[in-house]
């Protein structure tokens, strides 16, 4: 590694004085945790609490419940509706707080919410959704007494079968503030800026069109608070995003929608999107109904006509062509880092090494089970491999080629929790890219109706003016900040339990993992 | 430029009430009667349709299934009176192999003829049995060694059925010997006879009409040919008559005008093929082999015979080995047959048609990757007519989908839509793979990723031996 003065000198050569930086004053967002309760009147709760007419308003239940489920406001004769989202269920029995038993009139009833059957799926279980909402609300991991089984999903493979091998006692006792979760994004030391983000993740590409203005801005503001990044996706760059330029990645995708010289010059990272995990080999989809006048204007297209991006870049047939593209961007913006977003084909390891030799700073792998605003069902399930395999393959190959420490490996595609993030890093990624989880923080429940009509019924992935007003910018920002904060706390906790001082030490430590379907008798390769 | 293969489609709305996944349970007692009731704000306008239905202005009760499960009304109702439930009718659809989701997506494709598209990521299991334990590959940057860059319109899905000579011999610029006959169809899919469980004789002319509309062929039992009437002569190029082991041969006129016929496997295969060929040397004859305990071996044996051109391997309707306690799956059996024929250098002597277990387009693509030249389907077409595989018909009860009283044009339209949607989806996956021809996809396991291989190569090296099969 060159010493810092040499680096500085080189930086001057690479970055002449006339490099156009963003001209708009940048906004500061404090990293403050505030409660951001659900924007809906009735929260979806794990347990339903019902009060019958036998209630005599004695107030016994308010005394026994330590979680504040039962509320009798002063001056009122009747109870308010039970705040059942705080109920921890029948595990109260052990602690002697079980209101159902203690009610002298036996007027209370508690059941597991049957509606949870309608919520979630194998990858995002109901518990995982509820826990993520809780984190977005409070900024802390959910209390253990709630008993959310949210660290893994129910898909029966990959991350959901991997577990950390925690020791009873860590090798070194560390305090929270001794642990560094930061990640350097430029490992080429090519004179371009050394960008460091405070958490080992940044926000994934979601275009204006696939999601609303407010959603994009909420993501960007949370990225500012955590000194990380968000990505504009392929649909161009709103003026309203400019105060967050320093924390924005802009995408050059196959459709080249909204890509202009100035949009490239404003930002610190430019991402080439070759493919997306949910629809590898197909190109972006934005269906007609969501192409509103505002979207069409930004993408320079026609309102109400579906936009299907081509695949692949019609000017890239080889790694040499990829390098040509990259050199072009590097010339247009002399201070930007380049990220290359690719999907996970059988030869993903070769693709990653090829991208590195073409000059990319970040290789971003998007696995086959990744999120999307719209993709053919046949593509979501069947094309390209899940990210878990790709991480292992690429990490190993980069090591063999001797370039593992010269490129940053970011991964995405079905990472849902901080535990998934830690597992991905332990398998060999440097950091991860987050998409769906941020939307869940905003109230998404993955009903899967983002693609058509007015779009998202919850006002997140929509371009409909009326629907997108359902989300408030301040609230949205706070929800994502809270989620990030809870995740960071959990990540620090995992590192602490292993006695690791930094998230960089966790990378490639697959010896700290075990797989429930394996014998786990391989000698650790360290 | 040759004429493009195109299937003309038309929207075919369902005749029966739709069945959705969710239903809202509306507990009206204790309603506060808010003026700005959450029901008015339903994004999908479900409640307005319900109101119209109750008033009798609109007799389409589609609203029952329009609930998309977004929880908005449930979460916004001031009294918390609304709940969401999974529709029990949805859960009853289909069976263990043809899951409710498969039934619904098939209905949707039969209605719209379009590729199902949805938002949010994949929601299913990481992997599974059968076709769920493999993924198709994609091509990141289209490399010169692959098929190169092309638009979707240049992807060919045509296949040839018959024996393909491994080389041609010329003498003085003239071809020596006659080329074996070939039947070409524009899509790697033929329509198979319905299994005995779901036998609807009135659908036989419908299958022939669908085959004619989509340019493919339908297997029809010669014993049922009486049901075809005049259609029989007109559409002979789209019919594959199936002859059971002891069925007498059809009249010479029929054999002469047919392109392809299928006979049951048995000890009389050779004389029967020779007899058919003696009437019409241009006829291609397929041999149908049931994939029971000896089926795979039998298929390989047949491929060695000089008189066999086409083998139709048939697993049961769920793609399993016939009559086995621990059945193997069609994809693995086809892979074995294919690999064995390739090793012996005789793969192109026969065309392999694979039947059973094909429920979705992805299965078609994956089965071709595993070594079939084309597939035969039947149940998906029946499901296109709103069949829900309840098997009530077998017990003599009335069919809930009223298939007996179906209008022929409607049935043909629905099935044609489904075939068109499958064709479009096949082109999507082939485009992603960077393949220009479905012929080149056959046995191309390099364009697929198998669960066992990936596990061994990644987790196997990190965590030892896999203990769960």
Residue A433 burial class via C-beta count within 10 angstroms: exposed 0-12, middle 13-18, buried 19 and up? buried
Three-state secondary structure of A384-397: CCCHHHHHHHHHHH
Work out the average pLDDT over B448-459.
Answer: 95
ipTM for the predicted complex comes to: 0.92
Q: Is the pLDDT of residue B65 over 80?
A: no
End-to-end distance of chain B based on CA atoms, in angstroms?
A: 50
Q: Which residues have a Cβ under 8 Å from the Cβ of B57 and sit 6 or more positions away?
A: none
- The CB-based long-range contact list for B379-383 (8 Å cut-off, 24+ gap) reads B379/B98, B379/B194, B379/B195, B379/B198, B379/B317, B380/B106, B380/B418, B381/B191, B381/B207, B381/B210, B381/B415, B381/B418, B381/B419, B382/B194, B382/B198, B382/B200, B382/B203, B383/B98, B383/B102, B383/B103, B383/B106, B383/B107, B383/B110
Residue B382 to chain A, least CA–CA distance (Å): 21
The reply to whether B118 touches chain A by the CB within 8 Å rule is yes
Model confidence, pTM: 0.94
Q: Which residues have a Cβ under 8 Å from the Cβ of A387 and sit 6 or more positions away?
A: A158, A277, A344, A365, A366, A367, A368, A369, A370, A411, A412, A413, A414, A415, A424
Disruptive mutation site among A377, A393, A397, A437 for chain B (greatest number of B CBs within 10 Å): A377
Cβ distance of A122 and B464 shorter than 8 Å: no
Strand partners, B286: B262, B310
Please list every residue in chain A whose beta carbon sits closer than 8 Å to the beta carbon of residue B360: 378
**Across the interface, which of B69, B115, B458 has its CB nearest the CB of A447?**
B69
How many H helices and E strands in chain A? Answer: 17, 17
H or E element in which residue B242 lies = strand B239-243
Residue B356 to chain A, least CA–CA distance (Å): 20
Domain boundaries, chain B: 22-86, 152-454
Disruptive mutation site among A383, A385, A414, A443 for chain B (greatest number of B CBs within 10 Å): A383
Residue B136 to chain A, least CA–CA distance (Å): 5
Q: Each residue of A382-432: pLDDT tens digit?
A: 999 999 999 999 999 999 999 999 999 999 999 999 999 999 999 999 999
Measured between alpha carbons, how far is A449 from A444 in angstroms, rounded to an integer?
11
How many H helices and E strands in chain B? Answer: 15, 17
Measured between alpha carbons, how far is B48 from B40 in angstroms, rounded to an integer?
7
Confidence at B60, pLDDT banded by 50, 70, 90: low
Helix (H, G, I), strand (E, B) or coil at B320: strand
CA quadruple A364, A368, A373, A378: dihedral sign: positive
User: Residue A4: what pLDDT?
Assistant: 62
Residue B307 to chain A, least CA–CA distance (Å): 38
Please list every residue in chain A whose beta carbon sits closer than 8 Å to the beta carbon of residue B140: 274-275, 312, 342-343, 345, 347-348, 351
Disruptive mutation site among A39, A40, A42 for chain B (greatest number of B CBs within 10 Å): A42
Q: Is the pLDDT of residue A457 over 70?
A: yes
What does the CA dihedral A251, A254, A255, A260 come to, rounded to 10 degrees?
40
Cβ distance of B116 and A376 shorter than 8 Å: yes
Measured between alpha carbons, how far is A54 from A105 in angstroms, rounded to an integer?
6
Residue B241 to chain A, least CA–CA distance (Å): 33
Please provide the DSSP assignment of A475-487 as one string. HHHHHHHHHHHHH
Cβ distance of B466 and A517 shorter than 8 Å: yes
Cβ pair A413, A368 in contact under 8 A: yes
User: Residue B367: what pLDDT?
Assistant: 97
Measured between alpha carbons, how far is B219 from B185 in angstroms, rounded to an integer?
14
Measured between alpha carbons, how far is B463 from A423 in angstroms, rounded to an integer?
14
Return the number of other C-beta atoms located less than 10 Å from residue B48's C-beta: 14
H or E element in which residue A162 lies = strand A162-164
> What does each C-alpha distance from A37 to A70, B20, B254, B305 come to in angstroms?
18, 31, 75, 74
Confidence at B146, pLDDT banded by 50, 70, 90: very low
User: Residue B58: what pLDDT?
Assistant: 58
Confidence at B150, pLDDT banded by 50, 70, 90: low
**Across the interface, which of A42, A121, A519 has its CB nearest the CB of B80?**
A42
User: Residue A47: what pLDDT?
Assistant: 93
Cβ pair A518, B466 in contact under 8 A: yes
The top-scoring range by mean pLDDT among A15-29, A283-297, B185-199 is B185-199
Work out the average pLDDT over A450-469.
Answer: 88
Topology classification of domain A45-112: Alpha-Beta Plaits (3.30.70)
Please list every residue in chain B whose beta carbon sits closer than 8 Å to the beta carbon of residue A342: 140
**Across the interface, which of A277, A342, A381 has its CB nearest the CB of B140?**
A342
As a whole number of Å, the CA-based R_g of chain A is 24
Cα A270–A273–A278 angle (5° rounding)?
140
Cβ distance of A385 and B432 shorter than 8 Å: no
Q: What are phi and psi of B299, to 5 degrees?
A: -60, -40
Cβ distance of B124 and A122 shorter than 8 Å: yes
Please list every residue in chain B whose beta carbon sits closer than 8 Å to the beta carbon of residue A446: 120-121, 123
User: Residue B458: what pLDDT?
Assistant: 96
Location of structure tokens 């239903």? B23
Two tokens at B416?
A: 């044609």
Q: Is the pLDDT of residue A2 over 60?
A: no
Confidence at B145, pLDDT banded by 50, 70, 90: very low
In chain A, what is the greatest distance between 2 CA atoms, to the nearest angstrom?
Answer: 81
Two tokens at B147?
A: 């098929």
CATH code, residues A174-515: 3.20.20.70
Work out the average pLDDT over A313-319.
Answer: 81
User: Residue B388: what pLDDT?
Assistant: 92
Q: Each residue of A36-84: pLDDT tens digit?
A: 999 999 999 999 999 999 999 998 999 999 999 999 988 888 898 899 9
Q: Is the pLDDT of residue A200 over 60?
A: yes
Measured between alpha carbons, how far is B246 from B269 in angstroms, rounded to an integer?
11
Whole-number mean pLDDT of chain A? 91
Two tokens at A507?
A: 């990378």
> What does each C-alpha distance from B393 to B20, B195, B356 come to in angstroms?
23, 13, 21
Please provide the DSSP assignment of A56-93 as one string. ----HHHHH-TT------TT-SSPPPP-GGG--GGGHH
Q: What are phi and psi of A227, to 5 degrees?
A: 45, 55
Q: Which residues have a Cβ under 8 Å from the Cβ of B71 and sit 6 or more positions away?
A: A44, A115, A118, A119, A445, A447, B84
Helix (H, G, I), strand (E, B) or coil at B263: strand
The reply to whether B141 touches chain A by the CB within 8 Å rule is yes
The top-scoring range by mean pLDDT among A13-27, A262-276, A501-515 is A501-515
User: Residue A232: what pLDDT?
Assistant: 92
Q: Is the pLDDT of residue B2 over 90?
A: no
Helix (H, G, I), strand (E, B) or coil at A95: helix
Cβ distance of B43 and A275 shorter than 8 Å: no
Q: Is the pLDDT of residue A1 over 60?
A: no
Q: Is the pLDDT of residue A16 over 90?
A: no
Q: Which of A491, A16, A34, A401 is nearest to A225 (CA)?
A: A34
User: Residue A8: what pLDDT?
Assistant: 64
User: Residue B144: what pLDDT?
Assistant: 41
The reply to whether B180 touches chain A by the CB within 8 Å rule is no
Return the number of other C-beta atoms located less than 10 Å from residue B287's C-beta: 25
Residue A20 to chain B, least CA–CA distance (Å): 31
Cβ distance of B74 and A42 shorter than 8 Å: yes
User: Residue B149: what pLDDT?
Assistant: 54
Angle formed by the axes of helices B408-433 and B100-112, nearest 10°: 100
Q: Is the pLDDT of residue B398 over 90?
A: no
Domain B152-454 falls under CATH 3.10.580.10? no
In chain B, what is the greatest distance between 2 CA atoms, to the nearest angstrom?
Answer: 95
Cβ pair B158, B184 in contact under 8 A: yes
* Touching A: B residues 430-469, CB under 8 Å: 431-434, 446, 449, 454, 457-468
Which residue does chain B place closest to A206, by CA atoms?
Answer: B120
Confidence at B4, pLDDT banded by 50, 70, 90: confident
Measured between alpha carbons, how far is B245 from B272 in angstroms, rounded to an integer?
9
Measured between alpha carbons, how far is B376 from B161 in angstroms, rounded to an integer?
13
Which residue does chain B place closest to A371, by CA atoms?
Answer: B121
Disruptive mutation site among B140, B150, B469 for chain A (greatest number of A CBs within 10 Å): B140
Confidence at B111, pLDDT banded by 50, 70, 90: very high
Location of structure tokens 């959603």? A215
Residue A395 to chain B, least CA–CA distance (Å): 11
Please list every residue in chain B whose beta carbon sits closer than 8 Å to the beta carbon of residue A416: none
Peptide bond into A312 cis (omega under 30): yes
Beta strands A196-197 and A47-51, pairing class: unpaired
Q: Which residues have a Cβ under 8 Å from the Cβ of A28 and sit 6 or more positions away?
A: A224
Q: Is the pLDDT of residue B177 over 90?
A: no
Please provide the DSSP assignment of B283-308 as one string. -EEEEEEE-STTHHHHHHHHHHSTT-
| Interchain CB contacts (distance < 8 Å): A and B | 263
**Across the interface, which of A118, A317, A521 has its CB nearest the CB of B142?**
A317
User: Residue B142: what pLDDT?
Assistant: 57
The reply to whether B27 touches chain A by the CB within 8 Å rule is no
The top-scoring range by mean pLDDT among A306-315, B71-80, B175-184, B451-460 is B451-460
Q: Is the pLDDT of residue A162 over 60?
A: yes
User: Residue B346: what pLDDT?
Assistant: 95
Which residue does chain A place closest to B101, by CA atoms?
Answer: A377
Measured between alpha carbons, how far is A269 from A337 in angstroms, rounded to an integer?
5
Whole-number mean pLDDT of chain B? 90
User: Lowest-confidence range among A44-48, A93-97, B210-214?
Assistant: A93-97
Q: Which of A381, A386, A399 is nearest to A162 (CA)?
A: A386
Q: Each residue of A223-244: pLDDT tens digit?
A: 999 999 999 988 888 888 999 9
* Touching A: B residues 78-107, CB under 8 Å: 78, 80, 83-86, 105
């Amino acid at each position: 590694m060159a010493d810092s003065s040499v680096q500085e000198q080189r930086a001057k050569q690479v970055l002449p004085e006339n490099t156009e930086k963003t001209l708009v004053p940048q906004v500061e967002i404090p990293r403050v945790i505030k409660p951001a309760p659900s924007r809906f009147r009735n929260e979806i709760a794990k347990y339903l609490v019902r009060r019958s007419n036998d209630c005599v308003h004695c107030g016994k239940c308010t005394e026994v419940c330590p979680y504040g489920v039962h509320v009798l406001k002063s001056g009122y004769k009747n109870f308010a509706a039970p705040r059942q989202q705080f109920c921890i269920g029948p595990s109260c029995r052990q602690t002697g707080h079980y209101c159902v038993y203690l009610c002298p009139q036996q007027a209370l009833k508690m059941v597991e919410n049957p509606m949870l059957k309608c919520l979630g799926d194998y990858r995002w279980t109901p518990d995982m959704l509820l826990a993520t909402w809780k984190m977005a609300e409070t900024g802390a991991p959910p209390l253990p007494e709630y008993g959310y089984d949210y660290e893994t999903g129910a898909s029966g493979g990959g991350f959901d079968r991997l577990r950390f091998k925690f020791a009873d006692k860590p090798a070194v006792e560390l305090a929270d503030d001794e642990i560094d979760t930061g990640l350097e994004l430029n490992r080429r030391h090519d004179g371009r800026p050394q960008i460091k983000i405070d958490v080992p993740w940044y926000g994934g590409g979601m275009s204006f069109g696939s999601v609303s203005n407010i959603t994009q801005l909420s993501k960007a503001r949370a990225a500012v608070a955590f000194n990380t990044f968000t990505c504009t996706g392929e649909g161009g760059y709103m003026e309203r995003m400019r105060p967050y330029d320093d924390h924005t990645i802009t995408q050059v995708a196959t459709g080249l929608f909204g890509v202009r010289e100035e949009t490239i010059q404003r930002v610190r990272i430019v991402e080439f999107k070759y493919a997306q995990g949910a629809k590898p080999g197909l190109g972006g989809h934005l269906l007609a109904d969501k192409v509103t006048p505002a979207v069409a204007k930004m993408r320079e297209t026609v309102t109400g006509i579906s936009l299907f991006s081509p695949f692949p870049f019609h000017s890239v047939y080889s790694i040499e062509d990829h390098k040509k593209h990259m050199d072009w961007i590097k010339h247009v913006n002399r201070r930007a880092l380049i990220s290359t977003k690719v999907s996970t084909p059988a030869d993903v390891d070769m693709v990653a090494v090829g991208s590195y030799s073409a000059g990319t700073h970040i290789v971003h792998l998007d696995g086959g089970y990744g999120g999307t605003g719209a993709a053919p069902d046949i593509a979501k399930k069947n094309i390209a491999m899940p990210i878990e395999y790709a991480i292992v393959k690429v990490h190993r190959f980069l090591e063999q080629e001797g370039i593992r420490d010269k490129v940053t490996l970011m991964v995405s595609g079905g990472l849902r929790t901080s535990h998934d993030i830690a597992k991905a890093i332990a398998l060999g990624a440097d950091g991860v890219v987050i998409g769906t989880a941020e939307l869940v923080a905003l109230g998404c429940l993955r009903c899967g109706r983002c693609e058509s009509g007015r779009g998202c019924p919850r006002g997140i992935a929509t371009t409909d003016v009326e629907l997108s007003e359902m989300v408030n910018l301040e609230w949205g920002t706070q929800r994502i900040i809270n989620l990030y904060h809870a995740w960071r706390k959990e990540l620090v906790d995992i590192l602490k339990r292993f006695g690791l001082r930094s998230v960089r030490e966790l990378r490639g430590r697959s010896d700290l993992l075990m797989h429930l379907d394996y014998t786990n008798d391989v000698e650790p390769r360290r | 430029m040759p004429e493009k293969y195109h299937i003309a489609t038309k929207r075919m709305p369902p005749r029966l009430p739709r069945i959705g996944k969710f239903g809202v349970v509306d507990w009206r007692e204790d309603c506060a009667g808010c003026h700005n009731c959450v029901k008015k704000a339903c994004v999908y306008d479900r409640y307005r349709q319900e109101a119209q239905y109750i008033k009798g202005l609109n007799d389409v009760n589609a609203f029952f299934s329009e609930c998309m499960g977004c929880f908005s009304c449930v979460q916004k109702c001031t009294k918390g009176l609304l709940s969401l439930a999974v529709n029990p009718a949805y859960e009853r659809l289909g069976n263990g192999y043809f899951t409710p989701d498969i039934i619904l997506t098939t209905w949707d494709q039969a209605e719209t003829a379009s590729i199902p598209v949805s938002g949010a990521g994949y929601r299913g299991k990481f992997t599974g049995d059968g076709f769920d334990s493999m993924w198709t590959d994609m091509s990141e940057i289209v490399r010169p060694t692959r098929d190169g860059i092309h638009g979707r319109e240049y992807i060919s899905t045509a296949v040839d059925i018959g024996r393909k000579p491994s080389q041609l011999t010329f003498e003085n610029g003239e071809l020596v010997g006659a080329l074996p006959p070939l039947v070409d169809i524009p899509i790697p899919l033929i329509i198979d006879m319905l299994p005995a469980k779901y036998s609807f004789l009135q659908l036989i002319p419908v299958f022939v009409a669908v085959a004619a509309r989509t340019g493919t062929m339908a297997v029809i039992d010669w014993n049922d040919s009486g049901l075809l009437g005049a259609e029989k002569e007109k559409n002979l190029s789209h019919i594959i008559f199936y002859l059971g082991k002891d069925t007498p041969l059809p009249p010479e006129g029929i054999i002469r005008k047919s392109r392809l016929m299928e006979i049951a496997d048995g000890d009389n295969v050779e004389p029967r093929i020779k007899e058919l060929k003696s009437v019409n040397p241009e006829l291609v004859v397929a041999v149908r082999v049931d994939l029971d305990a000896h089926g795979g071996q039998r298929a390989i044996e047949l491929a060695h015979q000089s008189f066999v051109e086409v083998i139709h391997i048939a697993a049961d309707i769920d793609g399993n080995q016939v009559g086995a306690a621990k059945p193997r799956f069609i994809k693995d059996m086809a892979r074995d047959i294919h690999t064995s024929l390739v090793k012996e250098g005789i793969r192109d002597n026969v065309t392999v048609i694979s039947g059973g277990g094909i429920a979705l387009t992805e299965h078609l693509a994956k089965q071709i990757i595993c070594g079939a030249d084309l597939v035969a389907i039947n149940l998906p077409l029946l499901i296109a007519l709103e069949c829900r595989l309840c098997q009530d018909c077998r017990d003599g009860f009335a069919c809930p989908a009223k298939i007996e009283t179906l209008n022929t044009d409607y049935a043909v339209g629905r099935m044609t839509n489904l075939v068109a949607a499958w064709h479009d989806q096949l082109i999507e996956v082939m485009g992603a793979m960077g393949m220009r021809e479905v012929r080149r996809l056959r046995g191309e396991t390099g364009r697929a990723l198998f669960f066992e291989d990936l596990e061994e190569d990644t987790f196997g090296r990190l965590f030892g031996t896999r203990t769960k099969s």
